[in-house]
Each structure stands twice: as structure tokens, then as C-alpha cells.
């Protein structure tokens, strides 16, 4: 299986983190060509990168590498060489879609070696139409021009990562590596990386931010995979549950090696097929990809992970049924059935009881005969604030009908929750506002509906049965959700 995974190009490098098994990858690399000799088709989308470093020797050259990735092919690099002229280097090249690039500058005359190392070890996402300048300023590198915030973010992230890894003392002898400590460290790096990105949320395009975040998850799982690929330890040897108590990969399989593969494969699909090609992630496409590329228990484990991670998908029921009808592993089949059953259309809704802002208890049964919209959120959830205007629009459209909106917060602190309600940033004005009584995710209603991310929408019909999952209202301006609710209104009216 190892050779198969490697040949499919699953491993990669990100911001200086070298996966241990890169040495066995075979990369097809085009021969470097001088940019001046390239003919740029004016009808092709282009990108421009200029580098201004006055102290560089005009006889030197710089290399720009375009990394092209595909799910079913080896990594294919295109290298472009450009001569330095009066301290300036210009790269102009055709670019059909977002790609990863590396910039390699000559060693001569570079003032700050740390800045050069950060640059050499950083893969940048470049998009068609980008026009960016790289300038060396007071010991560091700064990008200016169109979409430059994206480049500054990635460069600063790479520098930040170097500092984190510089503090890490990993044993050089493979047998002495403590997997639990090593993986905990890698997870802590991921957490700090994600925190580092927060100030950039409103500064760079969302699709690029999503691509960077996906790359971080992908790199984290790849790092774990590379070590496990060599050590082949058993979970029982170290007593470490990599899925935080999940039955997948640890209780079902003794090998922690297999528990790393599912998130690795799914993040790879999002990373390379979806975001790099500017295609929206579709559960069905990823499901079919895994179905065609893997087999046996590994395939079923990846599909189980995929479905549980996308429990809010509007196509969950379809692909869940396919999995349940084709899985041969009874343990995985039971896990998938039990953990998704509460979100399947037609099944009875959970009759929860939660405290409200009026200090009274509210139960789902209080709204018997009504169409119910459950909205799960928490204070500080940026995506929840983006969903709120979409829900308000839908609520306005169906006002005075047989529909009730119930906002359920998982905030631990009641005063914090009440202040968020007053801010009107999260909840629909004309709605029932409840919270989980300080229990957060431990509350039975959160566990029952398998809420993994926020916001989460659950729709319940007037008959008390679950309705199908809908397309995230942020993606289609609420059209799918509104159509489903109106259909239910007409159904109950008849």
C-alpha cells in the first residue's frame, strides 16, 4: 500500500516541512528555460512577479518553479530561469488556474540569510492576474502590488513556522521517536498556525485562505503519515488515541497507521482537486474518487471518515446509503449507521429540553405541528455571523406561517450568551433563543445530532420527522433552504 500511496503523489512539502519519504518520490521536471525565449500567448491568462534586490549580481539568475499537482499523476514541475538585470528580475508566464510556486534566489549578496531561507522554503499560491513585486526591506522580504497580502501572509507564516520548528528537538534515531509526543507537538504547531492566520481573514481572498488552511491540515497529516510509514507502530504499543476517543482507526483497527490515512486523503482531495482548481468541494465527487482509488478496509475507513466529517451535506443520505449497502466491514458499517442516523431524512427528531433567555425551559415538543429550523452557533463564530442575514431573509419570507426558528448556542457562560443575543450579530430577531446550559458539546442535543462544526442547520417537519440537509444558505443565498421550507408549508396546508 505504501508504494501505491507514494505513486499517487499523496505526500508533499509545505513551508519547509519535509516529509520523510520524499526521497523515494520520482518527480518529472521540465528543463529550465530562459523566460526571454518563451512566447507568451496573449489570449492565455498570465501572472507577473517582479523581484527588486539592488545588491544582486547582474550575472546571476533566479529560478521560479511552478508546481503542478494532480490526484492521479506524479508531481510535475516547470522551472523558469530569469537573468538579473540592474537588480531586478521579472517573471511573466501563462497561468490557467491557481498554482504553487517556489522562488529561488542566488546566494551571492543576500544580506539576511534567514530571510532567504524563509523564501526558499515557502510555496506561494499564485493566481491568474496577480501582479506582485518582491522587495527586500530592512532585513526582511515584503510583497507589494495586486493580491500582495496573500504573499505576505504565506511568507510570514513560513517564517513563523521556522521559529516553531527551531524549538523542536526530534530524535535523529527513528526508533527513539516518541510518537505520542511527536504527534502532540505537530498538532500544537497546527493550532498555532491556524491562530496565526486569523488576522488575515479579512485581508486575503476566502478561497486562498481556505487553500492555505487545507494545506496546513494536509501537511500535518502527511507528517504523521511519513513517520508511521517508517515506524509501523501499533496503537496498543503506546496507548494513544489519535481520534480523541473515536472508534474509527483505533478501536476497530490496531494500527494507528491506518487512522492517519483518511484525513490525509480527504484533505488531499480538497487541496488539489477542489481549491487549487477553484472548484467547490462536493461530497459525491470525493466519495467517488475514494471509491475508485482505494479498496478493502482502507477504502471503507476513508469513506466513513468522509461521511462523518460532512454530516451536514445535502447529499449525506444518498452516499450514506451507498456505503451501508456496500461496506463489508460490519464494525465500520455500525459506526456509520449509529453516528449519522440522527441526520437522515424521515427519522424522528430528538425531543430536547433547553433553558431559554426567559429563564424558562423549552422543549421541541412545545412546537409540535410546526416546521422547526434549528440553528446551532457560538459566540465568536465568524461563519455564524455570515449565516445570520441569510436566515433573517428566509424568516422574513415565511413569517406568519407555520415555521419557528430556534437558535441554540453552545456558549458556556450565560452572560456571554445573553450579550451576544443583544448584539444581534448571531441570532434571528424573531426566534426562540436557547443555550446548552453550560454543557457545550456535552449536551445531549449536540451529541444526538452529531454537530461537528458551526453553524449547523437542522430542519424538522411538522410531523416531527427530520427533513433532508440543505445546501449551506451562505453558498446559494438560502434558495435551497427556502424552497424546502415553502414546500413543507404547502404540504401542511393541504
If asked whether residues 271 and 293 sit together in one domain, one would say: no
- Residues 15-41: tens digit of each pLDDT: 333 222 222 221 222 222 232 223 333
If asked whether residues 78 and 206 sit together in one domain, one would say: yes
The residue out of 318, 344, 370 marking a domain boundary is 344
If asked whether residues 369 and 338 sit together in one domain, one would say: no
The residue out of 279, 298, 327 marking a domain boundary is 279
Q: What pLDDT sits at residue 77?
A: 67
Q: What pLDDT sits at residue 224?
A: 72
If asked whether residues 59 and 172 sit together in one domain, one would say: yes
Q: What pLDDT sits at residue 18?
A: 26
Q: What pLDDT sits at residue 270?
A: 74
Q: What pLDDT sits at residue 274?
A: 55
CATH of the domain at 483: 3.40.30.10
Q: For residue 102, what is its C-alpha cell?
A: 517556489
Phi then psi for residue 225, to 5 deg, are -60, -40
If asked whether residues 243 and 325 sit together in one domain, one would say: no
If asked whether residues 208 and 138 sit together in one domain, one would say: yes
Q: What pLDDT sits at residue 2?
A: 34
CA within 13 Å, CB half, 123: 22
Instruction: Decide: residue 227, CB within 10 A, 0-12 exposed, 13-18 middle, 19+ buried.
Output: buried
Give the C-alpha distances (Å, rounded to integers) separating 381 from 386, 425, 453: 9, 10, 10
Distance CA 240, CA 159 (A): 31
Q: Do the beta carbons of residue 101 and residue 67 sit within 8 Å? A: yes
If asked whether residues 219 and 265 sit together in one domain, one would say: yes
Find the domain containing 306 and state its range: 282-344
Distance CA 40, CA 26 (A): 29
The residue out of 344, 368, 388 marking a domain boundary is 344
If asked whether residues 226 and 246 sit together in one domain, one would say: yes
Distance CA 336, CA 351 (A): 22
**Angle (CA) 217 218 221, round 5°:** 85
Q: What pLDDT sits at residue 206?
A: 76
If asked whether residues 286 and 138 sit together in one domain, one would say: no
Distance CA 276, CA 95 (A): 12
Q: What pLDDT sits at residue 121?
A: 65
If asked whether residues 371 and 323 sit together in one domain, one would say: no
Name the domain count of the chain. 3
Strands 403-409 and 88-94: unpaired
If asked whether residues 387 and 414 sit together in one domain, one would say: yes
Instruction: Decide: residue 76, CB within 10 A, 0-12 exposed, 13-18 middle, 19+ buried.
Output: middle
Sequence-ordered list of residues with C-beta below 8 angstroms from that of 250, at least 6 positions apart, any chain: 235, 241, 242, 243, 256, 259
Residues in the chain predicted with pLDDT less than 70, given as ranges, are 1-44, 54-58, 68-77, 107-118, 120-121, 137-139, 170-177, 225-260, 271-280
If asked whether residues 332 and 467 sit together in one domain, one would say: no
Q: Decide: pTM greater than 0.75.
A: no
Q: What pLDDT sits at residue 51?
A: 80
Amino acid at each position: 500500500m505504501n508504494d501505491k500511496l507514494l505513486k499517487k503523489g499523496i505526500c508533499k512539502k509545505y513551508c519547509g516541512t519535509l516529509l520523510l519519504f520524499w526521497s523515494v518520490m520520482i518527480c518529472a521536471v521540465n528543463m529550465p528555460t530562459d523566460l526571454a525565449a518563451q512566447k507568451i500567448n496573449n489570449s492565455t491568462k498570465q501572472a507577473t512577479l517582479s523581484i527588486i534586490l539592488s545588491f544582486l549580481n547582474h550575472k546571476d539568475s533566479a529560478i521560479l518553479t511552478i508546481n503542478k499537482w494532480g490526484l492521479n499523476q506524479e508531481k510535475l514541475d516547470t522551472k523558469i530561469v530569469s537573468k538579473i538585470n540592474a537588480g531586478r528580475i521579472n517573471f511573466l508566464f501563462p497561468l490557467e488556474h491557481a498554482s504553487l510556486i517556489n522562488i529561488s534566489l542566488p546566494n551571492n549578496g543576500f544580506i539576511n540569510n534567514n530571510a532567504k531561507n524563509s523564501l526558499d522554503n515557502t510555496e506561494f499560491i499564485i493566481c491568474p492576474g496577480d501582479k506582485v513585486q518582491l522587495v527586500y526591506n530592512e532585513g526582511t522580504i515584503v510583497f507589494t502590488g495586486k493580491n500582495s497580502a496573500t504573499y505576505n501572509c504565506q511568507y510570514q507564516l513560513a517564517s513563523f513556522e521556522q521559529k516553531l520548528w527551531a524549538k523542536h528537538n526530534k530524535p535523529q534515531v527513528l526508533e527513539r521517536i516518541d510518537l505520542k509526543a511527536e504527534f502532540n507537538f505537530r498538532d500544537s504547531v497546527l493550532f498555532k498556525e491556524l491562530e496565526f492566520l486569523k488576522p488575515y481573514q479579512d485581508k486575503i481572498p476566502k478561497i486562498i485562505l481556505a487553500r492555505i488552511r487545507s494545506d496546513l491540515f494536509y501537511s500535518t497529516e502527511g507528517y504523521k503519515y511519513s513517520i508511521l510509514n517508517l515506524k509501523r507502530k501499533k496503537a496498543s504499543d503506546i496507548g494513544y488515541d489519535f481520534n480523541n476517543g473515536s472508534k474509527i482507526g483505533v478501536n476497530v483497527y490496531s494500527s494507528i497507521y491506518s487512522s492517519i490515512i483518511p484525513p490525509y486523503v480527504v484533505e488531499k482531495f480538497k487541496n488539489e482537486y477542489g481549491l487549487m482548481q477553484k472548484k467547490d468541494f462536493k461530497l459525491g465527487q470525493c466519495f467517488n474518487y475514494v471509491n475508485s482509488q482505494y479498496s478493502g478496509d482502507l477504502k471503507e475507513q476513508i469513506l466513513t471518515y468522509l461521511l462523518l466529517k460532512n454530516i451536514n451535506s445535502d447529499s449525506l443520505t444518498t452516499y450514506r446509503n451507498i456505503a451501508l449497502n456496500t461496506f463489508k466491514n460490519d464494525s465500520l458499517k455500525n459506526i456509520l449507521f449509529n453516528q449519522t442516523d440522527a441526520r437522515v431524512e424521515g427519522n424522528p427528531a430528538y425531543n430536547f429540553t433547553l433553558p431559554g433567555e426567559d429563564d424558562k425551559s423549552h422543549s421541541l415538543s412545545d412546537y409540535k405541528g410546526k416546521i422547526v429550523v434549528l440553528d446551532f452557533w457560538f459566540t465568536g463564530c465568524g461563519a455564524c455571523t455570515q449565516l445570520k442575514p441569510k436566515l433573517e431573509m428566509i424568516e422574513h419570507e415565511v413569517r406568519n406561517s407555520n415555521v419557528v426558528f430556534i437558535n441554540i448556542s453552545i456558549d458556556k457562560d450565560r452572560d456571554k450568551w445573553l450579550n451576544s443575543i443583544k448584539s444581534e450579530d448571531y441570532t434571528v430577531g424573531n426566534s426562540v433563543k436557547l443555550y446548552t446550559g453550560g454543557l457545550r458539546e456535552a449536551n445531549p442535543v449536540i451529541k444526538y445530532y452529531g454537530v461537528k462544526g458551526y453553524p449547523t442547520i437542522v430542519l424538522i417537519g411538522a410531523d416531527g420527522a427530520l427533513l433532508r440537509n440543505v445546501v449551506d444558505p451562505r453558498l446559494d443565498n438560502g434558495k435551497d433552504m427556502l424552497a424546502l421550507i415553502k414546500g413543507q408549508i404547502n404540504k401542511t396546508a393541504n
